[in-house]
Copies of this chain bind each other. A is one copy, B any other.
Amino acid sequence: MDEAAALTAPATVDEFRDRLTGQLDDLPKRLRQCAEYIAAHTDRIAVSTVAELAAGADVPPSALMRFCQIMGFSGFSEMQRLFREAYAPGWPDYSTRLKNLKEGGAGSPSALLAEFVEAGRLSLEALTSSVDEAALNAAVALLAQADTVHVVGLRRAFPVAIYLAYVFEKMSVPCMLHDGVGKLDHRFALRPGDAVLAITFAPYSEETIQLAQDAQARGLPVVALTDRLTSPLARSSNAILTVPEVDFGAFRSLSATIAMAISLAVAVGAARG
């Protein structure tokens, strides 16, 4: 009676999402409303009633029931069971432990740690929503074609530059780190066919911007890793990657920046084979 696809209910949340996106296009009006609301509020399924979800999607409860059946479940309860069981996430302990750490009192080492952990975590989560996949792919392509990758990043960006150089080395990608040691200026090491990976955050480092401009002027591709699209690097780069780092106090956690950097480096290494 039913369509072939609907015979078996999704057994995991991932399967559920796949089926949802797969069916989204050929669905009548009300059912599509359901699908869209559910897609945007998947997390609430476990803790809501049919009536609540239906109200949220602005459809009558019966429409939502039909939606559940379209998705392959016998009804709402069966669908909800999937999400109630899948709902195990780190929530409980994690925030409790964080709270315990903070109890040492403001300024205590463990309270500080809790703050930095939280800043790092927020940064990472924000990164998943702000990442520009097209720019990331472009950046990988540019660097994968380069003869030598020149990495530049100073001050607070220097740890990231160092780590990038380390990863590139491990992946056998020819890489030169412009570290400013001895105030030596290696700009003439830039050769045709090379590419530059420039990293800087506000307050932007003059030397980094300079090198990026130089490279750009000589026709070399530049990839920028920075904090916003309005960064001074924007004008002189062919691909711009931004990371929304959450600061605590005067210091940034670097978690998101490093995650982005290492992904970039590994992808480049892989693309070169």
Residues of A in contact with B (beta carbons under 8 Å apart): 14, 17, 40-44, 46-48, 83-84, 87-94, 96-99, 101, 104, 107-110, 112-117, 120-121, 124-125, 127-129, 131, 133, 136-137, 139-140, 155-156, 158-160, 162-163, 166-167, 170, 181, 249-251, 253-256, 258-260, 262-264, 266-267, 270
Contact A259 B120 (CB under 8 A): yes
Whether B47 contacts A84 by the Cβ 8 Å rule is yes
Q: List 17 A-B contacts (CB under 8 A).
A: A42-B92, A43-B91, A46-B87, A90-B91, A97-B128, A101-B133, A107-B267, A109-B140, A109-B267, A112-B266, A113-B260, A116-B262, A117-B127, A159-B163, A159-B166, A251-B266, A255-B255
Contact of A156 among B115, B166, B251 (CB under 8 A): B166
Q: Is the pair B251, A167 in contact by a Cβ cutoff of 8 Å?
A: yes
Question: Cα distance A220–B203 when bound, in Å?
Answer: 37
Residues of B contacting A263 with CB < 8 Å? 109, 112-113, 115-116
Partner of A253, one of B40, B113, B140, B259: B259
A222 to B259, CA, bound (A): 30
Interface centre among A14, A91, A104, A263 (most CB of B within 10 A): A263
Interface of A (DSSP majority class): helix
New contact pairs (10) apart from A113-B127, A114-B128, A159-B166, CB-CB < 8 Å = A43-B87, A44-B92, A46-B87, A93-B129, A94-B125, A101-B128, A120-B120, A120-B255, A159-B159, A170-B250
